[in-house]
Structure 1
Amino acid sequence: MKYALLFPGQGSQAVGMLGKHAASEIEPTFREASEVLGWDVYKLVMEGPAEELNRTERTQPALLAAGIALWRAWSRQAPPSPAALAGHSLGEYTALVAAGSLKFADALKLVELRGQLMQAAVPEGSGGMAAVLGLDDDKIEALCKLYPGSGVLEPVNFNSPGQVVVAGETAALDWLQANGKAHGAKLIKRLPVSVPSHCSLMRGAAEQLAERLDQTSVQPPAIAVFHNLDAKSHATPDAIRQALKQQLYRPVRWTQTIRQLHGDGIAAFLECGQGSVLSGLNKRIVDGAQSLALEDPANLAAALTLARS
């Protein structure tokens, strides 16, 4: 059976994540990350506090480490190789490590810097994100264009049909909340983040990140990685660097990515990281999609049976 492994992004973190798995399975990867970064990733992940774990520059390397810890636990079972990999936002870096395109240590440093640059790009309190439910993609794009102010308001995460996240400046998001339902939205919910990810406010951060990317070794992936930017796989280092740069200020096209993978014959999607958010989205994108979240050891065992069938 052709299957894809998917890596979740920021927002999936939780104190105690991957705690259902034996410490001997996951702790070495977190310890390796700690040595690279110079702070105790495992202690923060397992003990918190949540406020520290939720700091963008801490969240991103912690989630990368969690995804790779679970990827290594999966790989030790000697399953058939996945036909493809993908990651939601930050998870794209995890996918590239799993594919052998980025070294784990290099990726940790990249995403820590990515988090720092994102947080510094917009003063805290001046921007954010909101989930909009009940509108088609084109209607959300049209709604954002109706904003009468001069600030940024852009659809940035096309997560599933009828679920899109919008990012922008605080005043623009206030307008969206006040006016969105009049234009057909069923629900508009502000997200507990201070960084308006994947919108044009991140362009400066992307330029700074590109400088580090240019200095980082990138190899052609051994497994195809489908990128958020265009739902396509890229084979050359320069194309991968460009996709990672543009990912920071361009939308995450998750719906398009899952439909592309399904159209390529992927029959099962395995979520490799903390939580099961992607599994829920995938079932709404592809009717009857087989999706399992590997954070649960029982699901990992079931996934092995599925992958070998």
Structure 2
Amino acid sequence: MVGFRVLAGALLSALLWINDAAAQDYGAAVYNAVQAAADQECLAGKLGAADFTAGDAGTPAKTAVIKYWSAARSADNVRIADLFQSNGKAVWIGNGVAVLARSGTVTDPFARAAGAALVEDPVALIHAKRGQTARGLWQVRDQSGASIGHYLVDFRRGSDWRPQRMELLPPGAPVPDVKPYCYMPGDIEASKDFITDAEISKMKKRATLVATCMSGSDCGRKWARAQAWVTENSFYPLVRTTDDVLLTTSPGDGSLWVAYVVALDPPATDGRQNIRLRAWCRNFLCVPSIGTVRRNFASALEGAEEPQTENRP
């Protein structure tokens, strides 16, 4: 009897372990899908300016730059190891050279200029939407208030917020816009150019015929309607708009929301052109359904669109 109880207990424990493991796997899958959708939403440029702020980097980043300025203003050949991140990769760039913060010393021409003053409030400061980094821009002025340069500073959060990279931008040098980003500066813009012409060609071939038009004003009118419809109804933004293709960013893994490719074929001998649509998501169910998308898109090309109430989350 004791042996049976032990065996039953072992079997129950095994079943519970299997269920726990399955639950953990399911939870991980759901979490990964949510994260992928959030990544795609960010990289697709769907977030507004209000979604990108200095966040918790605001005060410590400003404090770190002021602390650096105070040290750099005091002397030449200042050691900056304690002022930058200690991961061994932090770098200071100025005077045409790059100096590793962990082992180098710097002489800052801005800070050492007579009468120079740091404008303590940044021109711009943005916290990464999907990571523990931030980018900021600070201005340095002379006694008359004229700009003598800028600091472009990338921060990383370790035990606290400190510079990972600082670049001195002298007068006349291009001053970059500090734009919103997801993980690293420029990643939103780069994602829009990621799809190659060869990939677009493959997508166009997989598109389904939804309408025809006559070359000229008829096709021009329907193509304008197609672009307006995709712009209005797509969760993802258009990243390619030409005379023969409309393309949104692709959906992330697990995404319910529909992405689009619209293709206008070259004219046939009788002047007819085909308008084809590929609509897809990365889930078992799409929002809205692909059938609804095709019907509404075809109606829109004829100027009689049915309501599409599930087009956006």
TM-score range, shorter chain: under 0.3
When normalised by structure 2's length, the TM-score is 0.21
Structure with higher Rg: it is 2
When normalised by structure 1's length, the TM-score is 0.21
Compare the two structures and name the one with the higher strand fraction.
2
More RCO (CA 8 Å, sep 6+): 1
